[in-house]
Amino acid sequence: MASTNLVVVLGDQLSMSLSSLKDVERADTVVLMAEVAAEASYVKHHKKKIAFLFSAMRHHAQALEADGWRVDYIEYGASGNSGTLCSEIARAAKRWNVDRVFMTEPGEWRLKQEFEALKPDLACPLEMLPDDRFLCSHAEFWQWSKGRKQLRMEYFYRDMRRKTGLLMDGDQPEGGQWNYDQENRKPAADDLFMPNPPQFEPDSITKEVLALCEKEFADHVGELFPFWLGTTREQAEQAADYFFEQALPFYGDYQDAMLVGQPFLYHSVLSPYINCGLLDPLQLCRRAEEAYKKGRAPLNAVEGFIRQIIGWREFIRGIYWLKMPEYIELNALDAQRDLPAFYWTADTQMLCLKEAIGQTLQHAYAHHIQRLMLTGNFAMLVGVAPKQIHEWYLAVYADAYEWVELPNTLGMSQFADGGIFASKPYAASGNYVAKMSNYCDSCTYNVKKKTGPDACPMNALYWHFLSRNEKHLAKNPRIAQIYSTWNRMSDAKRKEYIDSADAFLQTLT
Ligand code: FAD
Ligand code: DLZ
């Protein structure tokens, strides 16, 4: 070999056309992939998430080899596995006596710092390349954000529509509107046909990984079996096919709906595959656009899906890299409560939370409204410390990586960043849950009652949250109206709410 390159491929970089692989020759290159204890345990990730990622990594290594790459794959139990990515890179650089180390930059600030710190310890240069699987580079987002008083996804999204040409009619949005969200708030009827994402039978690689996870991560959250996630690119494509055929047409209408026993509804359940690199987000958007053009899905569904990906997903990543490392420390509402124990067990009488957490423990999945308006809303109402709820979300979902999870949690769901990109807290009482779901119909608590031990706790907690945060929130024009309702109530009524919420909070462990 003339000069030897080591290309490091991380667990969420399972794309064949990664930037780090573009400018090197197969003959001069060793690809390093490593399953390491530090990444599996820096939060105690859901067992299914680790099994999914390790199996997807092993399958990806095979796909790279089939494509002519030489892969040095370090399994979790391999002798000499030092347990961290940095020390595995250092070991491999020595083992292969390489001249240069390349990698596509990691998705998390923490890792980027670790790799920067590794550079002086290596005998050769380490170069991090931009992750071009995203539409918007860090520099572009910084440029977009510069000088803006408010960072709002909607305006960023319009730029991404113009940039990609997705759903554009010349320089105008298809159908005359940029956003059809108003049409996307139908509650689902109990008897609606619900597609279920395809379930994949574990192959021998996955079975081996499942045995490993059962042994090594027994004390981690969540249920390993039944294991149904796809772990190859082909299976991820099958899951996408299924979504486009069965669910996309109704995706818009029922995007905010929730139903007992229905964890997936019309959501795509593609985020685990997108975030680890098995599916290409822009290609998915192009397929959705094609479905609209061929009359197979309505505009509100297709626009909604495309907005989540080129709008929210890109915007959230932009916020993460713009605001880290300070962002993770923010606690604008000074919330200090410990995360309630039932977040780890689903052992609660509140049916909405029992369902959302129960399916999370089972599938490592909950859809957006469950994350935002159930587990997120409740944590904010009771005042959970942002770092604790952040670490919970990062651990429990198969799609969770800090770059996407942190701003969604701290900013969107907890308002812990004081409104860097959300114009108001997503706070809601039981009323919202009753409107968008059928959870309340069979709940122990009565959503129509406002206070007292059998009233839905979220009703009094909602006012407790607003009352105790008045100094932070009362000036926000988007909730001024709610504060005037609160201030028009009699002292006795307000006291009843506060006492009822306090009584509930005292029972919360
Ligand atoms: P769909 O509803 O089918 O949406 C299609 C795709 O759009 C998703 O696959 C995803 O790639 C993208 N998307 C949708 N909403 C968002 C969003 N707000 N931010 C970024 N991408 C989005 N998403 C993650 O990918 N990882 C996380 O760790 C994560 N943590 C979250 C934490 C909280 C508190 C909240 C409120 C949201 C979080 N989200 C996260 C966003 C969203 O809930 C998930 O992307 C979505 O539920 C994934 O399921 P799906 O693939 O069925 O999504
Ligand atoms: C999430 C994760 C896990 C559980 N394990 C590994 C691993 O063993 N090896 C690896 O390269 N990556 C893993 N990852 C993903 C990394 O944590 C990921 O690259 C960062 O979260 C950056 O987004």
Q: What's the pLDDT score for residue 192?
A: 77
State the Cα–Cα distance between residues 372 and 463, nearest whole angstrom.
Answer: 18
3-state SS, residue 104:
strand
Q: What does the pLDDT look like over 338-389, one tens digit per residue? A: 999 999 999 999 999 999 999 999 999 999 999 999 999 999 999 999 999 9
Is residue 193 scored above 90 in pLDDT? no
Parallel/antiparallel/unpaired status of strands 29-34 and 5-8: parallel
State the Cα–Cα distance between residues 170 and 284, nearest whole angstrom.
Answer: 22
State the Cα–Cα distance between residues 145 and 113, nearest whole angstrom.
Answer: 24
3-state SS, residue 70:
strand
State the Cα–Cα distance between residues 100 and 124, nearest whole angstrom.
Answer: 5
The arithmetic mean of pLDDT across residues 463-472, rounded, is: 97
State the average pLDDT for the chain. 96
Q: What does the pLDDT look like over 162-175, one tens digit per residue? A: 999 999 999 999 99
Q: Which residues fall within 8 angstroms of residue 291, CB to CB, at 6 or more apart?
A: 244, 248, 297, 302
The arithmetic mean of pLDDT across residues 491-501, rounded, is: 98
* Share in percent of the chain as helix, strand, coil (round to 5): 55, 5, 40
Quickly count: other Cβ atoms within 10 Å of residue 130's Cβ: 12
Region label for 155, one of left (φ > 0), alpha (ψ between -120 and 50) or beta (otherwise): alpha
Give residue 2's pLDDT band: very low, low, confident or very high (50, 70, 90).
Answer: low
SS (H, E, C) 193-233: CCCCCCCCCCCHHHHHHHHHHHHHCCCCCCCCCCCCCCCCH
Ligand 1 contacts CB of residue 309 (under 6 A): yes
Q: What does the pLDDT look like over 401-423, one tens digit per residue? A: 999 999 999 999 999 999 999 99
Ligand 1 contacts CB of residue 270 (under 6 A): yes
Q: What does the pLDDT look like over 95-125, one tens digit per residue? A: 999 999 999 999 999 999 999 999 999 999 9
State percent of the chain over pLDDT 90: 95
Q: What does the pLDDT look like over 234-271, one tens digit per residue? A: 999 999 999 999 999 999 888 889 999 999 999 999 99
State the Cα–Cα distance between residues 470 and 466, nearest whole angstrom.
Answer: 6
- Cα 431 to averaged position of ligand 2 atoms, centre (Å): 39
> DSSP secondary-structure letter at 341?
G
- Cα 404 to averaged position of ligand 1 atoms, centre (Å): 8
Written as six digits, the tokens of 193 are 């046909």
Q: What's the pLDDT score for residue 188?
A: 79
* Atom 8, ligand 1: residue with shortest CA distance: 271
Closest CA to 105 of 130, 84, 122, 80: 130
Ligand 2 contacts CB of residue 263 (under 6 A): no
Q: What's the pLDDT score for residue 194?
A: 79
Q: Which of 6, 53, 81 to mutate to test the pocket of ligand 2 (most atoms within 8 A of CB)?
A: 53
Closest CA to 46 of 385, 378, 279, 392: 392
- Cα 271 to averaged position of ligand 1 atoms, centre (Å): 7
Ligand 1 contacts CB of residue 274 (under 6 A): yes
Closest CA to 445 of 434, 436, 454: 454
Helix (H) or strand (E) holding 29: strand 29-34
State the Cα–Cα distance between residues 396 and 370, nearest whole angstrom.
Answer: 13
Please provide residue 398's backbone torsions phi and psi, each rounded to the nearest 5 degrees: -65, -20
Helix (H) or strand (E) holding 473: helix 470-473
Angle value at C-alpha 34, between 214 and 51, nearest 5 degrees:
25
Written as six digits, the tokens of 298 are 């309505």
Give residue 1's pLDDT band: very low, low, confident or very high (50, 70, 90).
Answer: very low
Whole-angstrom CA distances from 192 to 234, 262, 366, 368, 497 are 29, 11, 19, 20, 37
State the Cα–Cα distance between residues 457 and 446, nearest whole angstrom.
Answer: 9
Is residue 55 scored above 70 in pLDDT? yes
- Cα 484 to averaged position of ligand 1 atoms, centre (Å): 34
Q: What's the pLDDT score for residue 331?
A: 98
- Cα 378 to averaged position of ligand 1 atoms, centre (Å): 18
Q: Which of 321, 368, 371 to mutate to test the pocket of ligand 1 (most atoms within 8 A of CB)?
A: 368
Ligand 2 contacts CB of residue 51 (under 6 A): no
Is residue 461 scored above 50 in pLDDT? yes
Closest CA to 282 of 9, 11, 15: 15
Parallel/antiparallel/unpaired status of strands 172-173 and 168-169: antiparallel
Please provide residue 476's backbone torsions phi and psi, each rounded to the nearest 5 degrees: -70, 115
Is residue 430 scored above 90 in pLDDT? yes
Q: Which residues fall within 8 angstroms of residue 333, CB to CB, at 6 or more apart?
A: 380, 383, 414, 415, 416, 469, 472
3-state SS, residue 190:
coil
Task: Give per-residue burial for 142-156: e unless 16+ CB within 10 Å, then b.
Answer: eebbeeeeebebeeb
Rg (CA), the chain: 24
Q: Which residues fall within 8 angstroms of residue 419, CB to CB, at 6 or more apart?
A: 332, 476
Is residue 297 scored above 50 in pLDDT? yes
Which pTM value belongs to this model? 0.98
Residue type, 115: F
State percent of the chain over pLDDT 70: 100
Q: What's the pLDDT score for residue 333?
A: 98
